[in-house]
Amino acid sequence: MSRLIRPDAVLIQAVIAGALSFAHLHDLAEAAGQTGWKAWAYPVSVDLL
C-alpha cells in the first residue's frame, strides 16, 4: 500500500509547487508594472509552455 501512496504525495507536492510558482511569477510581473492580461501572460509563458 505504501507504493500506492507515494505517487499521490509526489503529485500533490508538484501541484502545490506549480501553483506557488505561478502565483509568484504573476506577482513579479505586477511589481514590474504589467497589469491585466499581461501580468497573467508571463507565468503562462514560463510555467505552462
5 within domain boundaries = no
Determine, yes or no, domain membership for 17.
Answer: yes
Answer yes or no: is 49 within a domain.
no
pTM for this one?
0.78
Note the pLDDT of residue 5. 65
Q: Cell numbers 508571463 label which residue?
A: 42
Confirm whether 31 is domain-assigned. Answer: yes
Is residue 22 a part of any domain in this protein?
A: yes
Residue 34 lies in a domain: yes
At a CB cut-off of 8 Å and minimum separation 6, what does 28 contact? 42
Q: Which domain holds residue 18?
A: 13-39
DSSP-based three-state secondary structure for 34: coil
pLDDT-derived band at 23 (thresholds 50, 70, 90) equals very high
pLDDT exceeds cutoff 90 at 8: no
Tell whether 19 is covered by a domain: yes
Q: Per the structure, how many domains does the chain have?
A: 1
1 found inside a domain: no
